[in-house]
Amino acid sequence: MKKTIPLLIVIVGGLIWVVWAFSPHYVLQEVFYNQFYLPWAYASAPFAMLLGVLSLTLMHSNKIKRRAPKWQYSYFFFASFVITCLAGFIGGIQKGGLFMWMFENVQMPMSATMFSLLAFYMASAAYKAFRARSPEATVLLVAAIVVMLAQVPLGVKLSKHLPTISQWILDVPNLASKRGIMLGVGLGSVATSLKILLGIERSYLGGD
Amino acid sequence: MRLDRRRLILILLALFILSVTMVIAQKQEVKDDNIVADFQVTDVPADDGTGLMLSWKPLDRSKRIIEYRVYRGIKPDQLFFLESIEVNPKSGVASDRMFYYDNSPSEISDVAFSSRIKREKGQPDNGILYRQPPRDLKFTATLLEKFQMISLAKRSHFYHSSQEVLEDPEAEELSSYAGLKANQQTVMAVLKPGETYYYSVVAVDERQRLLPHAEVQSAVPMPNAPDPSPALYSVVMDDAKELRFEWEYPINKSNLDKYRIWQLSEMPAESWAELKANPEAVYTRAKLVAEGQVGSGSLPNYRKVEMKEDASGYQNAVFALQLIDYDGKTAFSPLSKPRFLSKDALPAQTKFWVEDKPNDKGDRLTVGWDNPILFVVKTTSMNKDNSRLRVNYQLNKTENQKVTEIWFTFTDPETGEQIAKLKEFYLDDSMMLNLPKGYDFKKGLKVQITMTGEPEIPNDYVIEQDLVYDPGMMALLPSKALYRNERDVSKIYNVVYRKYMQSPAWRLVMRNTSFDNSLDVTVPYGSQVQKWVQGISYAEGDSLIMHIVGQSGVERKARKLLPDERKAPVTLMSHKVDFTWDAKNEELVSTSIFEQRALEMHEKTIVEAKAKIAELTGMKAGADQAEILEIDAQIARQQAILDAHTQNEVVQHALSAKSNRHRVNLVLTAYDDFTRSQTFKVVRTDSKGLFIESALDLKDDQLVYHKPISNWFDNNKYVTLFTTLLFFLVVVSFVTLSKRGKTFYIRPIAGLQEIDNAIGRATEMGRPMLYCMGHGSISDVATIASMGILSLVAKRAAEYDTKLIVPCYDYIIMPIAQEIVREAHYAVGRPDTYDRNNVFYLTNVQFAYVAGVNGIMVRERMATNFFLGYFSAEALLMTETGNSVGAVQIAGTDAVTQIPFFITTCDYTLIGEELYAASAYLNHEPMLLGTLKAQDYFKLFILTVVIIGAVLSSFEITGLTTLLPEK
């Protein structure tokens, strides 16, 4: 019973979405989706978030209690959590408030910093990928050099055919393999959905 | 000179004074510069007296202004936020002045507003700027005198949640209102003519600072004379004995009520300017030719009048159009000298049809009037010598029209010699044209287009265009002319009008060029109710206070609260609603949302109609023949009202409803039925008096009304449904086979085979493992697939007593992941080793998540990392860090863009669908393996279809290609 009822809910819910995908009817698109499902989803999402916040609070308070390694950092979690909550609840989240100020001047620059690291990691990953250790890796290296050179003026100076070759590499072998993967992904998605609908795949229920 | 202590003090003092002076001067300068200059409020010209125009000089670009906020009030010391106008701080405002028109309904109470009056940010205690007006109807009542108010409420709120408020419960004839609470509606305010309003404008800079506000200005909106019609076109059509008029409306037409067409003798423009300044003089000198309704510019702007004299009588005549607004103010157009034309000059009459738009939720109809129209949009040269062109074309057709093949014939515009004839069998809006060697590209081209399709397109249907060289674009572009069967139709318009059942008026839907052959008309489902606010009531002690809007202003009334009467403040609106259209008696039946009032209204209408009939019948005695005819007509009208209320099935059904809720639902259904039904006509015109109306859509001499149909199935998805069902059958077949014991070969997947080794390595090293499910949500298939693998990894980790850390990106996934890991520990008999703090929510901010995961990896010195799920830019950041701490990494994702990063930085990678297969592969469960095999065979099927499609398309057989959905 513990597994059967959730399974039934998933199967019935899944079937509703299958019908929804094929039917443009007002009852499904407007009454069910816009008037029932969306408000319900918006209303229930914050409760799930509460779970997340509780989990994080528990984890950090345990760390402090147990004096786990680097437990001092957990105070930063509580401090920033409290300050952000107060700023949001008291001052509001509109532009000009402390909350938005912190978002724009603390979180955004830190996110941008993390993102900018990507450039260096990409260079290091490219170095690993382009080492001509095998025939396949050599093909990759050559293709990469052609495509990279075609992006810069120097490449066009070297040969006027470079951009055409680069575009061909992107449009034909690259796109073909991408589409091959996407085809597999698409079919895999449908198969997984079917497995869930038929009750074959039950991992999302926890265990099993 | 020695710098002794005294001198140093003096210098420092001087420097201090200088800096203080500079700072003060700069502050003064900044303060002066930051105020919006030359702020003016004036009456909107040519309106109905409900609009004011605000204008000001925008601040300099260097101030980095991001928005200007407009504040409005009914007294100068309390202005509420009205609206903000956003500005690009980089480019600033290009014009010298900025304008804001306060001439449409603005929100004055909304559920999103604060319930208390709040001062604007940074305002001092004596500041005059406030945020939006409070969501407090008691406060709103104080504004009733100054604004006309409209309530906008959800249908369900108005029809089902309105409370009845009686003005005087003891009165003989009850005056009842529908009351709605503040949180059930949005109250909109419209300016009242003759009232004074105060305004100010504040600039907000990039640092979100509200700069000082502009000086408060006031103005009074007043009704003005309308703008004149820019042009009247007249045609004398002697062979048809008709005068035809067509005119243009001014931009501001919302207050226009009527028009009159006057005939005058020809006169100089100056004399006309002098004469029209005095309308009374025009009435005495001019002859009235026609008059009619304008309906705020939505009614037809053309008129046909029978000629009263011969064409020669109009040789010296001119015509003028007088527009009259709802306040009785008028304006005359310039004089129009008629054109003398014959019937042959008229465009061909439009034959139109109306069809339901397929595959929609039932809110659109298509009005079509022509065969599909195809025209060239542009050409692009594909090589240096311009001998190869890409031609982009556009095909306009209704969804039920099909075009199978198109022929483009390109000719030399000078010699008429054919250059190329192309057949387009796959319609992708683009094709390649090769010009003959030596052809001068700049000469241009002439293109002739013919097509075949369903319903059958006549063979003589030919569209032609001239493609001329544009030196600016350096390309061949189509000229403005569009020839349809050799006639230029580019200046002919097809104007669609519609009529509702309950109204005799035809209203404009849209004016279409000849490049369109159809129009999609939206017929929305009713979701909101809009009503004038007739008052506001609220309780004070044991009294009910009511502010009622009357003819002479707002009247304050008070009465004792009734037992059980609700105390919450409510807006008061009419409880009467339209119910149904009785087509037989041509009568609109109204009702009330309150049961008792509905019965009273019904009874009263019947009693009044019967009394009127009896009275009129009595008047017949002694009346002459003409009077009897007039009385009979009135009796018939009253009888129709009586029949509509006593014999109409819908009305009778609603009256016998079990409950008021049921009755109101029946009212809404009947209301939707007649308000969503409409009939159309299409007028073809040159906009200058040569117009011809289409025949009306009649059946048995009755107008045919169309109502869109809500479709249960999307016809474009038959193939998708068939394929899904086929796949379903294949899956079921293989699952059945595997249940019966058939074993399937599944190719080895290195990444999955290595999972055990990776876990073993972590156990041997005594270090933890990290399992990352990416940033997909629970609805992503990759996340669900990842959960399956997590279950297996957690079991192994529990068996070997290895710590497994699962930081979650999504708080909905976290409890599921916790449950999976907990179950795994229980399954292997190690519940004591389960620590829920190892499966936790981290954050749902992408790069903050990366920072968190990287920190955990470095601090805990991970031995093994699993990255299985949906990933984006964070993938490489995490795997490179994992690499640097020396962890064995197994990754898998269905995000094509991230696969290369995983391949380069991880030890093993599951590519695309391998991730989905992992659960089946690791479990070795027959049912799951069956689905894997089914997937493989279906891929083979798709590949076969792709190859067959490619081959058939090469032979111009496009049936299979067009059968498959594009998206």
The model's confidence at residue B309, banded by pLDDT at 50, 70 and 90, is confident
Residue B965 predicted with pLDDT over 80: no
Among B362, B842, B913, the residue with its CB nearest the CB of A185 is B913
pLDDT at B692: 96
Q: Which residue has the tokens 């869109």?
A: B708
Q: What is the pLDDT of residues B441-491, one digit of tens each?
A: 889 999 999 999 999 999 899 999 999 999 888 889 999 999 998 889 999
pLDDT number for residue B935: 85
Residues of chain B contacting A183 with CB distance shorter than 8 Å: 939, 942
Phi, psi of A19 (to 5 degrees): -65, -40
Which residue type is seen at B795?
K
Angle between helix axes A38-66 and A73-91 (nearest 10 degrees) is 140
With both helix axes pointing from N to C terminus, report the angle between B813-827 and B781-800 in degrees, rounded to the nearest 10. 30
Among residues A88, A114, A129, the one where a domain terminates is A129
**DSSP readout, B537-567?**
EEEETTEEEEEEEETTEEEEEEEEPPTT---
Decide if B533 contacts B686 (C-beta within 8 A).
no
A208 touches chain B (CB under 8 A): yes
Cα separation, B507 vs B705, in Å, equals 15
Look at residues A129, A154, A174 and tell me which one is the last residue of a structural domain: A129
Length of chain A: 208
What are B904's two structure tokens? Answer: 């380069």
Mean pLDDT is lowest, of A43-47, B82-86, B339-343, for A43-47
User: SS3 letters for B236-286?
Assistant: EEHHHCEEEEEECCCCCCCCEEEEEEEEEECCCHHHHHHHHCCHHHHHHHC
Model pLDDT for residues B267-289, shown as the tens digit of each residue: 999 999 999 999 999 999 999 99
Q: For residues B793 and B806, is the Cβ–Cβ distance under 8 A? A: no
- pLDDT surpassing 70 at residue B967: no
Is residue A34 one of the residues assigned to a domain?
A: yes
**Separation of alpha carbons B894 and B915, rounded Å:** 7
Chain A contact for B848, CB < 8 A?
A: yes
Q: What angle do CA B202, B205, B209 make, to 5 degrees?
A: 75
Model confidence at B296, pLDDT cuts 50, 70, 90, reads very high
- Chain B residue whose CA is closest to A53: B841
pLDDT at B29 over 60: no
Cβ contact, residue pair B735, A59, below 8 Å: no
Residue from B726, B771, B796 nearest B864 by CA: B771
Q: What is the ipTM of this complex?
A: 0.87
Q: Please report the pLDDT score of residue A187 as a whole number.
A: 84
Do β-strands B176-181 and B129-130 pair in parallel, antiparallel, or remain unpaired? unpaired
Q: For chain B, what is the mean pLDDT?
A: 91
Structural domain includes residue A208: no
Which of B64, B363, B710, B786 to mutate against chain A (most A CBs within 10 Å)? B710
Q: Do B823 and A206 touch (CB under 8 A)?
A: yes
Interchain contact, B822 vs A207, CB within 8 Å: yes
The C-alpha atoms of residue B641 and residue B639 are separated, in whole angstroms, by: 5
What pLDDT shows up at residue B33? 66
The yes-or-no verdict on residue B27 having pLDDT over 70 is: no
Q: Provide the pLDDT for residue B334.
A: 95
Is residue A54 in a domain? Answer: yes
Q: Reply yes or no on whether the pLDDT at B927 is more than 80.
A: no
Sheet of B908-911, strand order: B839-841, B804-808, B769-774, B864-870, B888-893, B908-911
Are A154 and A181 in a shared domain?
yes
Which of B440, B438, B407, B437 has its CA nearest to residue B425?
B407
For residues B605 and B597, the answer to whether their CB atoms sit within 8 Å is no
* pLDDT of B639 higher than 90: yes
CA distance B127 to chain A (A): 19
A49 lies within 8 A of chain B by CB = yes
- Probe site for chain A from B523, B880, B899, B919 (most A CB atoms < 10 A): B880
User: Are A15 and A56 part of one and the same domain?
Assistant: yes
Q: Are B502 and B401 in contact (CB under 8 A)?
A: no
Cα B619 to chain centroid distance, Å, stands at: 56
Kindly state the average pLDDT of the residues B79-84.
96
Average pLDDT, chain A: 86
Residue type, A180: G
How many beta-carbon contacts under 8 Å exist across A and B? 202
Decide: helix, strand or coil at residue B85.
Answer: strand
Residues of B within 8 A of A23 (CB-CB) are 711-714
pLDDT tens by residue, B890-923: 999 999 989 988 988 899 999 988 888 887 787 7
Q: Is the pLDDT of residue B1 over 80?
A: no
- Report which of B787, B946, B911, B924 is spatially closest to residue A184, judged by C-alpha positions: B911
Structurally, how many domains does chain A consist of? 3
The answer to whether residues B192 and B50 touch, using CB atoms and an 8 Å cutoff, is: yes
Partner A, chain B 764-793, Cβ-Cβ below 8 Å = 778, 781, 784-785, 787-788, 790-791
Which chain A residue has the Cα nearest residue B846? A111
Q: Determine the pLDDT at residue A204.
A: 67
B189 three-class SS = strand
Give the residue among B832, B831, B781, B836 at the shortest CA–CA distance from B808.
B836
One domain for residues A121 and A151: no
CA angle B635/B639/B644 to nearest 5° reads 155
Distance, CA of B244 to CA of B336 (rounded, Å): 12
Does residue B652 carry a pLDDT above 70?
yes
Q: Give pLDDT tens digits for B764-819.
A: 999 999 999 999 988 888 998 899 899 889 999 999 999 999 999 998 898 889 98
Query: What is the SS3 string spanning B349-418?
Result: CCCCEEEECCCCCCCEEEEECCCCEEEEEEEEECCCCCCEEEEEEEEECCCCCEEEEEEEEEECCCCCCE
For residue B471, give the 3-state DSSP assignment: coil
Kindly identify which residue of chain A lies nearest to residue B875, measuring between CA atoms: A118
Tell me: do A142 and A153 sit in the same domain: yes
Pick from A27, A53, A111: CB nearest B845: A111
> Residue B3: what pLDDT?
63
Q: Is residue A207 part of a domain?
A: no
Number of neighbours of residue B662 by Cβ within 10 angstroms: 12
- Using one digit for the tens of pLDDT, what is the confidence trace for A4-31? 888 888 889 889 999 999 999 999 999 9
Whether A182 sits inside 8 A of B714 (CB atoms) is: no
Strand order in the sheet with B373-381: B373-381, B388-396, B430-434
CB-facing half-sphere around the CA of A55: CA atoms within 13 A = 28
> Is any Cβ of chain A less than 8 angstroms from the Cβ of B894?
yes
What are the b/e assignments for B786-810, b being 16+ CB within 10 Å? bbbbbbbbbbbbbbbebbbbbbbbb
Percent of chain B with pLDDT over 70: 99
**A111–B contact, CB cutoff 8 A:** yes
Nearest CA of chain A to the CA of B636: how many Å?
41
Separation in Å, CA of A154 to nearest CA in chain B: 22
Residue predicted with more confidence, B280 or B21: B280
pLDDT at B628 over 80: yes
pLDDT at residue B26, as a whole number: 61
> Do A108 and A137 belong together in one domain?
no
Report the distance separating Cα B69 and Cα A95, nearest Å. 13
Check whether residue A98 and residue A125 sit in a common domain: yes
Give residue B28's pLDDT: 59
pLDDT category, B30, cuts 50, 70, 90? low
Q: Are residues A56 and A113 in the same domain?
A: no
**For residue A52, what are the domain limits?**
1-62
- B438 Rama sector, left if φ>0, alpha if ψ -120 to 50, beta otherwise: left
- pLDDT band at residue B321, thresholds of 50, 70 and 90? very high
Nearby residues of A165 by Cβ (< 8 Å), 6 or more positions away: A146, A150
User: Which residues on adjacent β-strands are paired with residue B558?
Assistant: B545
- Angstrom distance (rounded) from CA B65 to CA B60: 8
Is B722 in CB contact (< 8 Å) with chain A? no
Quick one: tokens of B826? 């229980």
Confidence (pLDDT) at B275:
93
Scanning A143-202 for CB atoms below 8 A from B yields: 178, 181-185, 187-196, 198, 200-201
Domain boundary among A114, A129, A144: A129
Considering the domain architecture, whether residues A92 and A136 belong to the same structural domain is answered as no
Does A118 sit within 8 Å of B711, measured CB to CB?
no
**Cα within 13 Å of Cα(B862), Cβ side:** 31
Averaged pLDDT, A38-64: 87
Asked if residue A100 belongs to a domain, the reply is: yes
Distance from CA of B711 to the nearest CA of A (A): 5
Q: Is residue A67 part of a domain?
A: no
A163 falls within a domain: yes
Q: Please compute the mean of the pLDDT values over residues A68-97 and round it to a whole number.
A: 85
Could you tell me the pTM of the whole model? 0.82
Residues A172 and A153 both lie in one domain = yes
On whether both A177 and A192 belong to a single domain, the answer is yes
Mean pLDDT (whole number) for B868-886? 92
Q: Is A30 on the interface with B (CB under 8 A)?
A: yes
**Bigger pLDDT: B856 vs B564:** B856
Distance from CA of B828 to the nearest CA of A (A): 11
What is the pLDDT at residue B922? 79
What stretches of B542-659 show up as alpha helix (H) in DSSP?
A: 595-620, 625-646, 649-655
The neighbouring-strand residues paired with B483 are B464, B488
User: In this structure, are residues B619 and B632 in contact, taking their beta carbons and an 8 Å threshold?
Assistant: no
Looking at the fold, whether A134 and A175 belong to one and the same domain comes out as yes
| Residue B288: CB atoms within 10 Å | 11
Cis peptide before B413 (omega within 30 of 0): no
- Of the candidates B887, B898, B855, the residue with the CA atom closest to the CA atom of residue A122: B898
Contact B131, B80 (CB under 8 A): yes
A200 vs B contacts (CB less than 8 Å): 735, 927-928, 931
**Residue B592 corresponds to which tokens in the numbers above?**
């009330």
Asked if the structure places residue A47 within a domain, the reply is: yes
Which chain B residues contact residue A26 at CB under 8 A? 361-363, 525, 710
